[in-house]
Amino acid sequence: MSARRPLIGIPADRRMLGPQPYHLAGEKYVTAALDAAGVIPVIVPALGRELGDESLFASLHGLLFMGSPSNVEPHHYRGEPSDTGTLHDPHRDETTLPLIPRAVAAGMPVLGICRGFQEMNVAFGGTLWQKLQEVPGLLDHRENKDQPLEQQYAAAHDVSLVPGGVLQRLAGGAGSISVNSLHSQGVRELGPGLTVEARAPDGVIEAFRVTAARNFALAVQWHPEWRVLDNTFSTALFAEFGAACRGQMKDRR
């Protein structure tokens, strides 16, 4: 690996801490990017459309769209109004939803995780279920928040990997892998131009890639960043993203 590492942006959540707003990123995403992808993570503030894409693209070699307790506001995908008390982050929506397709079109490597997976689907015109557990025939994909984190992030179910897909290659040709499950929202209609990479036992889409992307552009519903170096597949996924970012850096020299 070159002594110089690529820079990847992680768009932040905007949260109120007391009376003031802060721009935050989860440490597990930051450390997974550093340790498993071999890149330098940079937190991108949720400044919406005031954030110039051109400057970002000139400075960064990849983007990681992380998970979050907040949900994408349903008006972005023609969804029903959320229940009272649902946590939203309109500043993040205004930042990520326009940024995702532009980054992919520019050939920038992109990885989406959990909320980032849902953002990528919405950004490409897809829709979401807000409560999978209330949809007949679908499983309850939520974690038990009363359990310790180690149990919340433990493997919850298998996902079947699409034959010939990117994820099956990273899994060494295996037909399925075990993943954790900590979400209530999920893909309802897959956005145009996206290709399924994995499904849960109930048929819910758990991973997809951008079909015509010129570079790595993939999203997963589960949390591979959790103790990434303890999971062979998660390490391989982040390493693939990191390799794409290094390729992007090399191409700009």
**Catalytically annotated residues:** 114, 223, 225
Please say whether the beta carbons of 10 and 42 come within 8 A.
yes
Q: How many residues does the chain have?
A: 253
**What is the C-alpha to C-alpha distance for residues 71 and 121, in angstroms, rounded to an integer?**
13
* Closest of 8, 44, 9, 6 to residue 24, by C-alpha: 44
At 167, list the tokens: 């994820």
Q: What angle do CA 24, 29, 32 make, to 5 degrees?
A: 150
**Rg of the Cα trace of the chain?**
17
